[in-house]
Structure 1
Amino acid sequence: MFSWFYYFSSAFNGEEVYLNEELAQSNKAALLDSDKDGLKDWEEVLWETDPMNADTDGDGIPDGQEASHNNTGSPENAETPNFTEAFSQAFANAIGPRILEENGLADISKSDLEGIAGFIPNPEAILGETARISASDLKISDKNDASSVKKYFNELHHLAYESAFAGITEGDITSFIKFLETENSGELEKIDPVINAFGKSIDAIKNLPTPKGYENFALTEANILSRMKRADEIIRNADKDLLAAVAVIKARFAMEEELNAFHQEFKKTLSEKGIIFSPTDKGYKFFD
């Protein structure tokens, strides 16, 4: 786990990131496990167990084993970076030893906080690079007169949004919030149809012939949707890596704002070419 520290730090630039001297000294206290039960002494405080008794409740199972039996990663996810675990370990090194001191958390210093600040994940680092959709992925139509362009946007909205998202009654963010409120992972399953819908939407953009000269719209639209899909995949995994999901939420909203701003800007481009949509046109919803 400790090896992840350098990778997840926002200061990571290919060189090792070292803890400051004060934190290096405090790490010695973090290593203490007085009763040898697998839980550090400060962790015993959090779990409300006895740091001098390996089996606090006397059930024959060491405290450390009881605390971790529900936290073992599945083999298929063994190589998947877990930001929650990385942050927890950083918290352990920086803050954990202070819990054992006389004034507890009241004596948390600036350097303690600096020790964990760098491990709060950057949303872009979590999202990573999504497969970029390029012009070669599109089908191009030579028909780019005003009538054909208007028809394209009407059809695109129907296929990429109305049809792709048909039947979905609960949004991804709503499902995530319900998960936070109930801790019921079943709420996260409701995000699956949204993720699938994003995939259908992207496919629709690729497959519907784009009027020549309007490739930029199709590519920008598809690539923003691809990033939104990736964000939802991370949010969907909140029951396994909550910190990553929480960090991505803000980026998810920003993507939606980016998409809306792009639509409004492109509306001006279309207007300059005399392409206007009425409220009865399906394409009107792109620019409403």
Structure 2
Amino acid sequence: MLRKILSFFGTRVGIAILLAMLVVGVATIVKTKAGNSSINKSSTALAVEKIVKKSLEDDTDGDGLKNWEEALYKTDPENPDTDGDGMSDGAEISANRSPIVSGTGHDASGTSTISTLPTFSATDKFSQELFIKYIEAKKSGQEITQEFSDKLAEEIVAKNYEGQEVLFNDNDLNVINNPTLTQIHDYGNAFGAAISTPVPKGVRNEFEILDAIITNGLTESDKEELQILYNRYNSIHDNLAKIRVPLEMRNAHASFIRAVDTIRNSVSGMQNLNTDPIGALRKIALYEEGLNDLSITSLSLKQYFFSKKITFESTESGSTMTR
């Protein structure tokens, strides 16, 4: 198997993926079909689903209300009796009593309303929709089962609660209409230099950090390292956007930048798991899509240099593009 893997990375498709991995600094499982490469729905997708399902099942204070239900009813997820009246929050909801007002006679149906929920972040928007589904399920006597949780997990990944993202535009590039071979050679060196920004020593890659987050939760150390990685991707984006690009490669170059942005946004999502988990998970779920786009556009770039018979010395930054 190892021999097959090494043989695969000797192909042009394999080389393109290695280039993408150079940018990201992380290995991944890949597969190829008819010369096209794609990323298996594996590590990242499974990680997102694991985080979502765990979040939906967590009941920190053991009061019978899941943490996400506590958010809907405005109760304290770390205090089983928020209003201190001797009855647990979960028991009060079951008795149709308000868990945030001490004493009897307070109807729980008035505890949370759609109008009182915030409307800014992706998590807020999801919470509103979830609240509606939750109330409907409760009214109809539907049990909040594992199947219900699984369906919610799928919806989180599938739906974009943040709205349409502004993508990098091809027209923002500085294009060379009729490039000479020297200009194409310079382009290769500039491109190679832009993507070769090293990850500082001692900083884990984002996938290692995500794995740690799943196990231990998001720590301040994780946030600091993720910020370093985010800044690195920002730098790669800015450097690539400044390069003079041969007209023939405008689309591929812009696609590469957009792929870098997708990876960068995934890192941003990891940073915001505590403050905007729904928006964060959506971004993280697109990580492998960004990595896949990097490998595909890398192949286009390599083929361009080969077609122009452009070569680079091993000491040149552009050697990354053709070796």
**Cα separation, 1, equivalents of 2:224 and 2:162:** 20
* 1:73-84 equivalent positions in 2, closer than 5 A: 79-82=120-123
- The answer to whether residue 162 in structure 2 is matched with residue 162 in structure 1 is no
Distance change >3 Å, CA 167–CA 135, structure 1 → 2: same
Q: Which runs of 5+ in 1 are unaligned?
A: 1-37, 66-76
Distance change >3 Å, CA 78–CA 185, structure 1 → 2: farther
Distance change >3 Å, CA 130–CA 284, structure 1 → 2: farther
**Cα separation, 2, equivalents of 1:188 and 1:180:** 14
Contact 2:176 2:244 in 1 (8 A): yes
Task: Select the residue among 216, 219, 229 that pairs with 1:185.
Answer: 219
Secondary structure, counterpart of 1:131 in structure 2: coil
**Cα separation, 1, equivalents of 2:86 and 2:179:** 75
Opposite residue 81 of structure 1, the aligned amino acid is A
Return the offset for 1:263: 0.8
Counterpart in 1 of 2:298? 263
Distance change >3 Å, CA 287–CA 230, structure 1 → 2: farther
In the superposition, the TM-score normalised over structure 1's length comes to: 0.60
Contact 1:234 1:248 in 2 (8 A): yes
Secondary structure, counterpart of 2:166 in structure 1: coil
Counterpart in 2 of 1:230? 265
Distance change >3 Å, CA 132–CA 252, structure 1 → 2: same
**Cα separation, 1, equivalents of 2:159 and 2:304:** 30
Return the offset for 1:252: 0.7
**Cα separation, 2, equivalents of 1:39 and 1:151:** 58
Contact 2:249 2:301 in 1 (8 A): no
Task: Select the residue among 131, 141, 149 that pairs with 1:89.
Answer: 131
- The answer to whether residue 90 in structure 2 is matched with residue 55 in structure 1 is no
**Cα separation, 2, equivalents of 1:282 and 1:127:** 38
Distance change >3 Å, CA 87–CA 180, structure 1 → 2: farther
**Cα separation, 2, equivalents of 1:95 and 1:156:** 54
* 1:240-279 equivalent positions in 2, closer than 5 A: 240-277=275-312
Residue deviations 1:87-132, cap 9 Å, x none?
Answer: 763674476689x99xx77xx597x579x54972245615643323
Opposite residue 120 of structure 2, the aligned amino acid is E
Return the offset for 1:50: 7.8
Residue deviations 1:58-78, cap 9 Å, x none?
Answer: xxxx9648xxxxxxxxxxx86
Return the offset for 1:259: 0.8
- The answer to whether residue 203 in structure 2 is matched with residue 146 in structure 1 is no
Counterpart in 1 of 2:17? none
Distance change >3 Å, CA 178–CA 117, structure 1 → 2: closer
Distance change >3 Å, CA 198–CA 243, structure 1 → 2: same
Distance change >3 Å, CA 123–CA 161, structure 1 → 2: farther
Return the offset for 1:153: 1.6
Contact 1:270 1:276 in 2 (8 A): yes
**Cα separation, 1, equivalents of 2:87 and 2:246:** 71
Secondary structure, counterpart of 1:170 in structure 2: coil
Distance change >3 Å, CA 109–CA 230, structure 1 → 2: closer
Counterpart in 2 of 1:175? 209
- Percent identical among aligned pairs is 10
Opposite residue 263 of structure 1, the aligned amino acid is S
Contact 1:126 1:248 in 2 (8 A): no
Q: Which runs of 5+ in 2 are unaligned?
A: 1-68, 89-97, 102-117
Distance change >3 Å, CA 129–CA 173, structure 1 → 2: farther
Distance change >3 Å, CA 88–CA 128, structure 1 → 2: closer
Q: How many residues end up aligned between the 2 structures?
A: 226
| Aligned-pair Cα RMSD in Å | 4.4
Distance change >3 Å, CA 261–CA 91, structure 1 → 2: same
Counterpart in 1 of 2:52? none
Counterpart in 2 of 1:131? 166
Residue deviations 1:207-265, cap 9 Å, x none?
Answer: 22223433223211222222322232222101123344334333111211111122123
Contact 2:122 2:279 in 1 (8 A): no
Contact 1:202 1:222 in 2 (8 A): yes
